A and B are shown apart, each in its own frame.
Chain A
Amino acid sequence: SAVISQKPSRDICQRGTSLTIQCQVDSQVTMMFWYRQQPGQSLTLIATANQGSEATYESGFVIDKFPISRPNLTFSTLTVSNMSPEDSSIYLCSVEKRGVGTEAFFGQGTRLTVV
């Protein structure tokens, strides 16, 4: 398994500002994943963060809005830039472990409200 610590757990932010979310894993992993969960919706993958290279963004998500850092194999940050109320969501960090199969593990999430 994997233990993932995510900070902050929640925040209320003013529109136009930026928030950086941190994700720390208890073991080294090749890839880290950032998801968004809008109210009442399922999880949507924002991007995959690889150490030593640019993050890979999914359709509809861009680096200018969601810059990601991956300085080492246990840590990543996601910044939500120039926030609007539409960015109010739960943001989740995830890693995958390969054993019998590939299993995903998640942090406790960051609940963001933009006012």
Chain B
Amino acid sequence: KQEVTQIPAALSVPEGENLVLNCSFTDSAIYNLQWFRQDPGKGLTSLLLIQSSQREQTSGRLNASLDKSSGRSTLYIAASQPGDSATYLCAVRREGGSEKLVFGKGTKLTVNP
């Protein structure tokens, strides 16, 4: 059974700092991994989708890497801003492409001005 773990559960940083959020999964037989952002009490916004054959994806100040064999992904946020404050969730999809997503519990990020 796939399990997804995100460390740390919460993170507080000063504005401008570069930071890394971690996601690990127990079964490396994944199809893809997706990073989401969730604002308090709201839905999820897709940030980055990384296929199992890819090593990384970039969007603006965000960079996601994937090491499938070791069961790890990182989300790098450059030059953090207070508007980046949110919970970041990662989710993996098993090989086959039609399998359901398995989510981690998220990392709650606070960027202090």
Which residues in A have some Cβ–Cβ distance to B below 8 Å?
Answer: 1, 4, 6, 10, 33, 40-43, 45, 48, 90, 92, 94, 98, 100-109, 111
Q: Any chain A CB within 8 A of the CB of B71? A: no
Knowing A42-B103, A43-B89, say if A102 contacts B41 (CB, 8 Å): no
Chain B residues lying within 8 Å of A105, measured Cβ to Cβ, are 46
Which residue of A41, A42, A108 is within 8 Å of B43 (Cβ)? A108
**A102 with B44, Cβ < 8 A, contacts A42-B103, A42-B106 known:** no
Q: What residues of chain B lie closer than 8 Å to A94, measured between beta carbons?
A: 44
In the complex the two chains form, is A43's CB within 8 Å of B51's CB? no
Q: B103 to A101, Cβ gap below 8 A? A: no
Question: In the complex the two chains form, what is the Cα distance from A108 to B51 in whole Å?
Answer: 25
Q: Decide if A104 touches B104 in the complex (CB within 8 Å).
A: no
The residue on B at minimum CB distance from A43 is B103
> Contacts of B103 on A, CB cut-off 8 Å?
42-43
Q: Note all chain B residues with C-beta closer than 8 A to A40.
A: 105
B105 to chain A, nearest CB (A): 5
Query: Chain B, 15-37, contact with A by CB distance < 8 Å: what is the 0/1 string?
Result: 00000000000000001101010
Contacts of A45 in B (CB 8 A): 100-101
Q: Which of B95-110 contact A (CB under 8 A)?
A: 97-98, 100-101, 103-106
Given known pairs A42-B106, A101-B31, A101-B49, the reply for A107 and B43 (CB within 8 Å) is: yes
